[in-house]
Structure 1
Amino acid sequence: MIEVVTVIGAAATTVFDLELDMDVHSASLAGSRETAATAGGQRRLGLGDEVTFRARHFGLWWRMTSRVTVYERPWRFVDEQTRGPFREMRHEHLFEELGDGRTRMTDRMSFRAPMAVVLTPYLRRLLIERAAHIKARAERRP
């Protein structure tokens, strides 16, 4: 399992909503040219919604579809792969208010795939990159 913890100077509702915003997601991983598209075209995900990600990793184009299987705003949501490159993938997002307008955001990702020894540090780096983007966006909001 990969775990990344980030303390953000914003309310949990703000951070939670940014994490589910597809435009923010795409911007956070621009280096891999990642896009996120929902079947209904909505910008923000909710319970049961599916999103298909397309990105370039390791020199190849990848496609993965995930569904939001748990939605407890603003404290927690989970997305799980329904189609894609992993045998299985589960990403839990946790949000804990720390007081003074700060939130602890925890990403916990578990997956099963060939070459996990190579994928684990790569996925950890992507989660850290994404968390830094969310932090920057959340902290510059009024």
Structure 2
Amino acid sequence: MPRICLKTTITAPIDIVFDLSRSIDLHTVSTKQTNEEAIAGKTSGLIGLGESVTWRAKHLGFTQSLTSKVTDYNHPSFFADEMAEGIFKRFRHEHHFETEGNQTLMTDIFEYQSPFGILGKLADFIFLENYLRSFLKKRNTAIKEVAESDEWKKILK
């Protein structure tokens, strides 16, 4: 099962970074390239423990829907969301946050299992893992840019 681990250092308080990572609104802005739209469940604001969101997006040329649910939560150091419905066999996305001086270290751990057996494993090797890594990096860049500017005040009204 592929495991993607990304570390992003952000010059902002841990509470702001934690909340921006839970923001449905910022996620929508940060995923313009895939036209992600929250269509059910929690569709705006900050997602919390036990809440779910259904996203509709275009990935790899196909429009898909995916529902994820926040299954673990410890403010402001950790939360995890897991796929409830969607194309993957399963996925779990852990979000870890640590304070380092005046910075926050945000660590994403994304583990997933592709569908379609051996064909899914081949897709992971050829392109899917790199595609997902790039997608998560773009999202993290957006969180960093918003957290390190005054834009976070608009998102976290």
Scaled by the length of structure 1, the TM-score of the pair is 0.95
Distance of aligned partners of 1:40 and 1:76 in 2 relative to their CA distance in 1, 3 Å threshold: closer
Query: Does 1:122 find its partner at 2:124?
Result: no
* Alpha-carbon RMSD: 1.3
Shift of 1:35: 1.3
**Structure with greater helix percent:** 2
**Displaced runs of 4 or more, over 3 A:** none
What residue number does 2:148 align with? Answer: 139
Distance of aligned partners of 1:52 and 1:40 in 2 relative to their CA distance in 1, 3 Å threshold: closer
Shift of 1:128: 0.4
**CA–CA distance in structure 1, aligned partners of residues 141 and 44 of structure 2:** 24
**CA–CA distance in structure 1, aligned partners of residues 78 and 105 of structure 2:** 12
Query: Does 1:47 find its partner at 2:55?
Result: no
**CA–CA distance in structure 2, aligned partners of residues 65 and 76 of structure 1:** 20
What residue number does 2:71 align with? Answer: 69
Letter of the aligned partner of 2:10 in structure 1? I
What residue number does 1:86 align with? Answer: 88
Shift of 1:119: 1.0
Query: Does 1:111 find its partner at 2:119?
Result: no
**CA–CA distance in structure 2, aligned partners of residues 41 and 122 of structure 1:** 25
**CA–CA distance in structure 2, aligned partners of residues 49 and 37 of structure 1:** 14
Alignment partner of 1:28 out of 30, 35, 40: 30
**CA–CA distance in structure 2, aligned partners of residues 39 and 30 of structure 1:** 20
**CA–CA distance in structure 2, aligned partners of residues 65 and 128 of structure 1:** 21
Letter of the aligned partner of 2:124 in structure 1? A
Shift of 1:36: 2.2
* Structure 1: gaps spanning 5 or more residues: none
**CA–CA distance in structure 2, aligned partners of residues 53 and 116 of structure 1:** 22
Paired residue secondary structure (1:140):
coil
* Structure 2: gaps spanning 5 or more residues: 115-119
| Percent of aligned pairs with the same amino acid | 38
C-alpha contact (below 8 Å) 1:25/1:36 kept by paired residues: no
Paired residue secondary structure (1:86):
coil
Work out which of the two has the higher radius of gyration on C-alpha atoms and give 1 or 2: 2
